[in-house]
């Protein structure tokens, strides 16, 4: 004990005294009871534990909670805003991009970070972006469709916002 960390998770700041060996994923799941982030392996292969740390998709099993001191973390529980689902969440449901749902939070988080950096990806780019997130149920087909669908929706929303912004210009 004796290590106090302050982490902003899904917009709320938490200060907790923790063991220095505690992994970020354990901090989220067990200290904060945010169990939407899952643990699927112990070798950082599967990506089920992926969360956004300061905007970058990060496997939360590869990081100690003390390393996240001062960081801003977003988990699957923080994707929806004011009850409105994030486009990636809507797209996963629409395209049947999930079956058992265990890998889904990590995949959606990886996709959110990816689409921030590549708004108009090819299927090959999508597949490359998610190759660190394993799914055993879907064969990835509908996950690729979901990420493509989300990107189209996000582009449309962005251009709509740009249009509105242009219209309100004096």
Partner 1 sequence: MTVAANPKYIGTRVARKEDPRLITGEGTFTDDVMLQGVAYMTLVRSPHAHARIRRIDTAAAKKEPGVVAVLTGTDLEATGMLPVFIAVPGMNGSKHMPIATDKARYAGDAVAAVVADSRDAAKRAADLIAVDYEPLPVVVDATKALEPGAPIVHEELGSNLVFTYPVKGGDIDKAFKDAEIKVTQRIVNQRLIPNAMEPRAVAAKFEAGELTLWTTTQIPHFVQLIVALNLGLGQNKVRVIAPEVGGGFGSKLQVYAEELLVGYLSKTLGRPVKWTEERREGYLATIHGRDLVENVEIAAKKDGTILGLRIRTVANVGAYLQAFAPGIPTILHAFIIPGPYKIPAFDVEVRGAYTNTTPVDAYRGAGRPEATFAMERIIDRLADEIGMDPAELRRKNFIPPDAFPFNTISGITYDSGDYEPALDRALAMADYKGFEKRRAEAKARGNYRGIGISTYVEICGLAPSKANSALGVGWGGYESARIRVHATGSVQVFTGTSPHGQGHETSWAQIAADALGVSPNDIEVRHGDTFESPGMGVGTFGSRSLAVGGIAVHKAAEKVREKVVQIGAHLLEASPADVVVENGKVFVKGVPEKAKNFGDISMAAYLANNLPDGMEPGLEATVYYDPPNFTFPFGTHIAEVEIDGETGNVRIERYSACDDCGRQINPMIVDGQLHGGIAQGIGQALYEGAVYDDNGQLLSGSMMEYHVPSAEDIPMFNLDHTVTLTNTNPLGVKGIGEAGTIGSTPAAVNAVIDALSPLGIKHIDMPLGSEKIWRAIRAAGEGRR
Query: Token pair of 79, please?
Result: 């994707």
- Closest approach of Cβ 24 to partner 1, in Å? 16
The shares of helix, strand and coil residues in the chain, as percent rounded to the nearest 5, are 40, 15, 40
Q: Please say which residue, 17 or 161, places its beta carbon nearer to partner 1.
A: 17
Binding mask 41-80 for partner 1 (x = CB under 8 A): xxx-xx-x--------------------------xxx-xx
Using an 8 Å Cβ cutoff, are 32 and 15 in contact?
Answer: no
Question: Does the protein bind partner 1 through residue 17 (CB under 8 A)?
Answer: no
Burial of 134 (0-12, 13-18, 19+ CB in 10 A): middle
Binding mask 135-164 for partner 1 (x = CB under 8 A): xxxxxxxxxx--------------------
Whole-angstrom distance between the N-terminal and C-terminal Cα of the chain? 58
| Positions that interact with partner 1 (CB under 8 A) | 21, 29-30, 33-43, 45-46, 48, 75-77, 79-80, 85, 89, 92-94, 96, 98-105, 108, 123, 126-128, 130-144
């Amino acid at each position: 004990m004796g290590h106090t960390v302050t982490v902003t998770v899904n917009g709320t700041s938490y200060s907790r005294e923790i063991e220095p060996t505690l992994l970020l994923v354990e901090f989220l799941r067990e200290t904060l009871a945010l169990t939407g982030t899952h643990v699927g392996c112990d070798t950082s292969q599967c990506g089920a534990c992926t969360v956004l740390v300061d905007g970058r998709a990060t496997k939360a099993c590869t990081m100690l909670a003390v390393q996240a001191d001062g960081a801003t973390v977003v988990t699957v529980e923080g994707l929806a805003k004011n009850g409105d689902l994030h486009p990636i969440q809507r797209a996963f449901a629409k395209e049947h991009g999930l079956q058992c749902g265990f890998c889904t939070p990590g995949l959606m988080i990886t996709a959110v970070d990816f689409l921030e950096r590549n708004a108009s990806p090819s299927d090959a780019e999508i597949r490359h972006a998610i190759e660190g997130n394993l799914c055993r149920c879907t064969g990835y087909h509908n996950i690729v469709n979901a990420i493509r669908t989300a990107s189209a929706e996000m582009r449309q929303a962005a251009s709509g916002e740009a249009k509105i912004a242009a219209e309100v210009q004096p």
